[in-house]
Amino acid sequence: MKILIVADNYYPNVNGSSYFTQRLAFYMKQRGHEILVMTTSRSLRHEAFRHNEINIFGIRSYPVFVYENFRFPLPIGNIKAIKKEIRRFAPDIIHIQDHFVISPDVQKVAKELSIPMIGTNHFMPENITHYLHLPKKLEQIVKNWAWGQFRKVYEELHMVTTPTATAAKHLKEVKLTKPVLAVSNGIDLKKFHPNNNGEYLKKRLNLPNKPILLYVGRLDKEKNLDLVIKSLPKLLMHVDAHFVIAGKGAEAKKLKNLVAQLGLNKSVSFAGFVPDEDLPNLYKIADCFIIAGTAELQSLVTMEAMASGLPVVGVNAMALPELIHDGENGYLFELDNIESLTQSLIKILSDEKLRKQMGDKSLEIIQAHDINNSMVTFESLYQSMLNSI
């Protein structure tokens, strides 16, 4: 099949949506399909280029300086270039990943050319609205407007998917009437597994020989890493542990200041962005993974940690309970309950036998999320759409 994948958000942006889109393109190409990604350009011009052996057509864009490397497509004057590129590539299927700028224009062309479209939703307005610092009533108005814009695009698709049953239920709650199928983002179990070796990273980061708590991902407000840091003083009274924070984001400076204010500089390491070639090994330096984000439609990093054999402590919010089975492969805590978070960390980091049991359970649970299963599911969805034309 010839598959056009469309996303405003792609490499080098660092977030779950971008990573899923990159992996979808890569693994579909590995399975023999012809792939073109339509995303933001690297300049103020439309351009064709390649990344990771994937052909890309970039829609002219401008930098968003709040985030390093993040670019936003110019919202007008793109339809002619989009139509020309779609005619040239002649896709059998179009798979969009969002509803922001590029996808609505692509949808107009797809309707004109009778090309079937599928969309995967990664959108949660909570990932954006907290930076607006709006009163709660106004913030809710903005969220309702944002979901309205989402529905305009996704109601017109032939098929809609999202990574989890929780996320599918949420789409019904925001009044999407289109049937939604839950398809896991998937995880490469050949890449992320317990036999990786992170000793060289331990040396590079100059980490102590202590139980390691690990976080990987964006350092942004909705990830609630400040709560994890605030739990550390009491944790350290019971367990001589060390917290490693890997990633970058808008909250990095605030988090570092908080660590300093609490006198935790010797107990917390900021690893910065960890490249893909090191990421599987990074999980092997850890004894437990922490995820406190409240807007996780699935959480790729949690799946990577589980595939690496780690127990997980996570907030009881959105889709995380689908991965973290409380008392089995980790613990869930309520967002406003730092005491519960602390006690969960103490239990795991002070008990090697419990860590092993929970890590084994993580490995058992994650088998259902093999990325090959996800790719087969998407292929069958594409084929069913083509058969229905």
pLDDT, tens digit, 9 for 90 and up, residues 288-330: 999 999 999 999 999 999 999 999 999 999 999 999 999 999 9
Q: Is a pLDDT exceeding 60 seen at residue 191?
A: yes
User: Which pLDDT score, from 0 to 100, does residue 74 have?
Assistant: 87
Tell me the pairing of strands 268-272 and 288-291.
unpaired
Residue 90 is predicted with a pLDDT of: 98
Residues 242 and 345 in one domain: yes
Q: Are 204 and 350 in a shared domain?
A: yes
What does the alpha-carbon distance between residue 73 and residue 105 come to, in Å, rounded to a whole number?
12
**Is residue 191 included in any domain, yes or no?**
no
Residues 258 and 311 both lie in one domain: yes
Distance (Å, whole) CA 182 – CA 169: 9
Number of domains in the chain: 2
pLDDT at 65 over 90: no
* Domain assignment of residue 192, yes or no: no
Q: Any idea how long the chain is?
A: 389
Query: In this structure, is residue 295 part of a structural domain?
Result: yes
- Residue 292 forms part of a structural domain: yes
Residues in Cβ contact with 133 at an 8 Å cutoff, skipping those fewer than 6 apart? none
Asked if residue 193 is part of any domain, the answer here is no
Is 69 part of a structural domain of the chain?
A: yes
Closest CA to 283 of 271, 266, 293: 271
Determine the structural domain holding residue 220 and report its residue range: 199-369
Classify residue 116: in a domain, yes or no: yes
Instruction: Say whether both 125 and 228 belong to one domain.
Output: no
Do 350 and 207 fall within a single domain?
A: yes
pLDDT single digits (tens) 358-369: 999 999 999 999
Q: How far apart are CA 382 and CA 389, in angstroms?
A: 11
Q: How confident is the model at residue 132 (pLDDT cuts 50, 70, 90)?
A: low
The pLDDT, as a whole number, for residue 63 is 86
Rounded Cα distance, 16 and 351, in Å: 31
CATH number at residue 213: 3.40.50.2000
pLDDT at 67 (0 to 100):
57
pLDDT confidence of residue 64: 76
My answer on whether 233 and 173 are in the same domain is no
Is 70 exceeded by the pLDDT of residue 138? yes
244 and 271 Cβ atoms separated by less than 8 Å: yes
Tokens coding 104: 């609505």
Token digits for 262? 């609490």
CB of 153 within 8 A of CB of 103?
yes
Residues 336 and 377 reside in one and the same domain: no
Q: Quick one: 237 and 100 in the same domain?
A: no
Indicate the pLDDT class of residue 68, thresholds 50, 70 and 90: low
Do 77 and 20 share a domain, yes or no? Answer: yes
At residue 139, the pLDDT reads 79
Work out the pLDDT band at 378, boundaries 50, 70, 90: very high
* Range 274-281 average pLDDT: 96
Q: What are 336-360's pLDDT values in tens digits? A: 899 999 999 999 999 999 999 999 9
Q: Are 118 and 159 in contact (CB under 8 A)?
A: yes
Q: Could you read off the pLDDT of 170-185 as tens digits, one per residue?
A: 999 999 999 999 999 9
Model confidence pLDDT, tens digit, residues 86-111: 999 999 999 999 999 999 999 999 99
